[in-house]
Amino acid sequence: MDLKDCTLTLGPVLFNWTAELWRDFYFEIADEAPVSTVYLGEAVCSKRAPLFDKVLTPVVERLEAAGKELVFSSLSEVTSTIDRKLIRRVAESDGLLIEANDISALSYLDGRPHHIGPFINCYNEDALHIFADGGATSICLPTEMPKSGLRVMAAEAATRGVSLELQIFGRVPLALSARCYHARAHNRTKDSCLFVCDEDPDGMVLKTLDDKPFLTINGIQTMSYTCLNMADSLTELAEMGIGRFRLSPHSAGTVDVAQTFRSLMDGALDADEAHVMLKASSLDVPFSNGFYHQRPGVEWQVPTPAST
């Protein structure tokens, strides 16, 4: 696959932003970001979902008017009655394309076209075939998968006409829990959280006892402190046949990041130029890409001529 024919996508906002910030972010994406697909919806905490309900319609209208393909991301951890109702409501909505992030959603989606999100474990070719049999048209692979596995998946996906997607930029989701760690840090519980996660639009940084930033807390989700950046590997991914590249939204610079990646994909920039621009427009944290190279995910591997 030629890099310029690949698709740039925008994953769902994973953080708790105010409804106004959330709306303005998507208006800006609609007007200025060169992404083809936008994933919308609450993937982390069902308590947050009602917060942006009131601005959902104008956001959908604006994105559709801008020609974006819309996919609705479902919740990644489904336990409580509220979680289950939310899954049902999203999955049974008429005419929406859904990204399933938990097997719960598949009980509603089986047999009709849908996407498999990165929170569903799809680690091998057998899993890929099962999801394709169930109607999956696109699968976003686990971020921790190494290059060798991605290559096998891409070859297999081609035989099924299934698109493969991979997160290429932004903080990386690393774990989910039943407990809300935002609430815990504020001496609250999940039920009495008062939505304290809204204080941290890009997550709450967790430092080790020797004062080094380590992880980021986002409610029940734990994320990397570092920012994934796969700019060096896009050509290789495209050659394998992975053609959908996902950006994960942050509170600032996302439009610039999208423009940089689109320019890189179109051949208007090289990777070194892209790194400089990405550094300037994204979070002031180190880049990482270790998972792809089968190294610790936190690491940043610089490509050598031999490895590309």
Under the binding rule (CB under 8 A), the answer on residue 121 touching another protein is yes
Among the listed residues 42, 99, 102, 165, the single contact to another protein using CB under 8 A: 102
Under the binding rule (CB under 8 A), the answer on residue 78 touching another protein is yes
Contact call for residues 155 and 232 (beta carbons, < 8 A): no
Task: Kindly tell me which of 63 and 204 has the beta carbon lying closer to another protein.
Answer: 204
Contact call for residues 173 and 143 (beta carbons, < 8 A): yes
Under the binding rule (CB under 8 A), the answer on residue 149 touching another protein is yes
Which tokens go with 113? Answer: 């076209």
Angle 76-79-82 from CA coordinates, rounded to 5°: 95
Taking only Cα atoms into account, the Rg of the chain, rounded to an integer number of angstroms, comes to 18
Under the binding rule (CB under 8 A), the answer on residue 184 touching another protein is yes
Task: Kindly tell me which of 56 and 96 has the beta carbon lying closer to another protein.
Answer: 96
- Binding piece for another protein, criterion CB under 8 A, among 27-35, 119-127, 248-256, 266-274: 119-127
CB 282 → another protein: shortest distance, Å? 19
Angle 219-90-167 from CA coordinates, rounded to 5°: 55
CB 301 → another protein: shortest distance, Å? 11
Among the listed residues 27, 108, 195, 300, the single contact to another protein using CB under 8 A: 108
Among the listed residues 28, 179, 270, 308, the single contact to another protein using CB under 8 A: 179
Under the binding rule (CB under 8 A), the answer on residue 181 touching another protein is yes
- In three-state secondary structure terms, 274 is helix
For 279, other C-beta atoms within 10 Å of its C-beta total 14
Contact call for residues 92 and 60 (beta carbons, < 8 A): no
> Which phi and psi (to 5°) does residue 100 adopt?
-85, 125
Under the binding rule (CB under 8 A), the answer on residue 290 touching another protein is yes
Instruction: Please give the residues from 199 up to 238 whose contact with another protein meets the rule CB under 8 A.
Output: 200, 204-212, 214-215, 217, 222, 224
Angle 171-176-178 from CA coordinates, rounded to 5°: 145
Which tokens go with 5? Answer: 């024919």
Under the binding rule (CB under 8 A), the answer on residue 27 touching another protein is no
Instruction: Please give the residues from 57 up to 76 whose contact with another protein meets the rule CB under 8 A.
Output: 76
Under the binding rule (CB under 8 A), the answer on residue 177 touching another protein is yes
Task: Kindly tell me which of 33 and 150 has the beta carbon lying closer to another protein.
Answer: 150
Q: Which of 238, 260, 63 is nearest to 163 (CA)?
A: 238
Under the binding rule (CB under 8 A), the answer on residue 164 touching another protein is no
Beta-strand runs (E) in 74-162: 98-100, 114-116, 136-140
- Sketch the per residue contact string, 249 through 288, with another protein: x for CB under 8 A, - otherwise: ----------------------------------------
